[in-house]
Amino acid sequence: MTVLSGSKAQVFLYKKGVKMKKLFGLFVFGLILFFGCSTQQGSPSATLDMRYKDQIIAIAGRAYERELTSGTGGDISVRVPDSDHFIIKGTGNCFGDLSYDRLSTVGLDGKVLPGSPQPSHETDIHCAIYNLREEVGAVMHVHSPYATAWATCGRTIPPITQQSVEVLKDVQIIPYYPPGSMEMLDAVMDCYNNPVTKVVMMENHGVFLVGNDLPDLLYKAEVIENTARIAILCENIGAPVKFEYMPPIPYHK
């Protein structure tokens, strides 16, 4: 057995200590990588939720820019695919300045998930639509001026353009009820029991729309507002509008 002198023993112990520190450092780094990857792989729903929150913020901002709603009015939500919840605008927030902390996550059973702000007054309607209509991926309620003007007069928007017939399909109208009331919930859902219905107009209030996803929802909101405006212009001109819809002919050559 070889016995090291004092100085050699110190050098040996020092080198051994450095190696142990390096090994310990690598061990800790490995743990960080392991648990970091496990956390990312174990919470795909959180990543998916963030992606749909980003979509709501973007689409709501575009709707606000197009003056489809104003102030803190209206609400917008999206169903998170392969989950039991949806994301909806928190009450008292403007479409134009939404952020993560101004969005609520609500289960399809109507329960607000912990940490979420108070959701919209019409959350029950959004929840009921998602449970009734499985094909619906997004819901929006806006106060667009021209469409709301027609609703306030108790009249549905006439389908006077090619686009309005193809996009809006069946348009319903209901009387005014207080926001968040059971009467309003029942009246809106009576309309959406018809699988063809995409748009429900509410007297003295605004418009409810359903779509396959958020971009589709914005598209429909733009079409109904544009159609409402065209219809008012036609009435001001005074000429009766006659329109017999004919489906477009696909391009072929």
Does 15 reside within a domain?
no
For residue 216, give its domain range: 45-237
Q: Tell me which of 252 and 78 has the higher pLDDT.
A: 78
- Tell if the pTM clears 0.85, that is, is over it: no
pLDDT band at residue 245 using 50, 70 and 90 as cut-offs: confident
pLDDT band at residue 44 using 50, 70 and 90 as cut-offs: low
pLDDT band at residue 9 using 50, 70 and 90 as cut-offs: very low
pLDDT at 18 over 60: no
Does 107 reside within a domain?
yes
What pLDDT sits at residue 248? 85
Does 36 reside within a domain?
no
pLDDT at 25 over 50: no
What pLDDT sits at residue 37? 38
Question: How many structural domains comprise the chain?
Answer: 1
pLDDT band at residue 16 using 50, 70 and 90 as cut-offs: low
- The domain that holds 57 is classified in CATH as 3.40.225.10
What pLDDT sits at residue 173? 97
Of 24-28, 64-68, 129-133, 142-146, minimum mean pLDDT range? 24-28
Q: Strands 138-142, 206-211: parallel, antiparallel or unpaired by DSSP?
A: antiparallel
Average pLDDT of the residues of the chain: 86
What pLDDT sits at residue 167? 86
What pLDDT sits at residue 36? 42
pLDDT in tens, 85-137: 999 999 999 999 999 999 999 999 999 999 999 999 999 999 999 999 999 99
pLDDT in tens, 172-215: 999 999 999 999 999 999 999 999 999 999 999 999 999 999 99
Does 127 reside within a domain?
yes
